[in-house]
Amino acid sequence: MTPLSRRYSLLLRAYPRGYRPTELLDTLLEAAPPGRTWPPLREAANLVRHGLRAHLGRPGSRGVVFWAVTTAFVFGLFGSGLAVRAAWETTPPLPDQAQTRTILAEILPDEAWGEPTPPTRAKFGNFGAPTGWAGYGRWVTSFEGGDYGRTEVGAAIPGNLRLGVAGTAERATAGLRAHGWRIRMVTDDDPDNHVTVLARRDGLDIAVTVYGYTVTADPSVFVSIARSTPVAAWPAGIGGGLLSALLAFLAFGWGSRRTASGHPFGRLAEALYGIGLLLWLLPSTVALPLTTIRTVQYGGPDWPQTWEWFGQPHYFIFILPGVAFLALAAALAARPALRKEPLEANG
């Protein structure tokens, strides 16, 4: 077997077995000019596209491959987000109040810190606190999920600062370094009024923010401590996304073949599926460019969480109606197709 025939054979695996790949291979080899060792890119793309159409039960359809790929993309995103969220359950608990006081003493030992906030077992919530069932209900009826983020503990120093904003920030940075915190980012665009120091240690992220008179009535130091993104989030997100995309593609193929022809609810199932998928896709088309612009413009030591890239839970209001349309489309596709009974001969 020549190199060209091997490469054509690999491309023809995109076709179902019933499409006689041997005859197709002979035709392609006969049409190839002498000396060719690689299939042209356009020809390879056409072979794969037509093979996928045949696999999806609609060899004459031009849009079925687009819908299949879009399905895999959307469900891959959601599967990746769910897998990453599950990986967050491997993170350690937040520091209790006594541990928080120890950390605060490491940063600025001579200041009068306020009472630290108590920790919560929830990994994420709205405004740094657990969401609760009422909060989940608001996700379905409004766009309040945009405040969803890591839960945290913290404390503050109200009142005057002896060294001012810049001097206090320098002391806090030195204290963090001296106790093993790795400084990840310092934002000091306005060092006389607002400085933020971000650091990490032992699976915890700390943000020390120093405000001046122009921001608050009195200069203050605010400290928040949250869990770091776990290492397991990366393999979980990649694996969960790929597995979800594959399963979604296979499920779409099943539904496409079921409703290809002779199905009593084929057109209705296709319309319902299209509406449901678009409801799931709409948040991604809005959130993906906005999140990209925000990440590039403002930067930061961490990437946004996976679900933020496709607008969740900020646009969760679209998800439940989408689920209803997709579930109804799947239920209709599962109905048996009409059987064509042979006509009995008269007499």
Q: What percent of the chain has pLDDT over 90?
A: 40
Q: What is the pLDDT of residue 168?
A: 87
pLDDT of residue 296: 78
User: Confidence class of residue 343 from pLDDT cuts 50, 70 and 90?
Assistant: very low
140-153 confidence digits (pLDDT tens): 777 776 678 889 99
State in Å, rounded, how far the first CA of the chain is from the last one: 59
> Which pLDDT band, with edges at 50, 70 and 90, does 33 fall under?
confident
User: Alpha carbon of 268 to those of 113, 124, 328, 330: distances in Å?
Assistant: 64, 39, 10, 11
Q: What average pLDDT does the segment 1-8 reach?
A: 82
For residue 347, is pLDDT > 50?
no
- Averaged confidence pLDDT in the chain: 85
Give domain limits for the chain. 1-55, 63-91+230-336, 93-227
Residue 217, φ and ψ in degrees, nearest 5: -60, -40
Residues 227 and 91 sit within 8 Å (Cβ to Cβ): yes
With 80 as the cut, is the pLDDT of residue 65 above it?
yes
DSSP string, 219-236: -EEEEEEEEPPPTTHHHH
Question: Measuring CA to CA, which residue among 146, 118, 117 is closest to residue 131?
Answer: 146
161 within 8 A of 168, measured Cβ to Cβ: yes
Of the segments 157-171, 242-256, 297-311, which one has the largest average pLDDT value? Answer: 242-256
pTM: 0.80
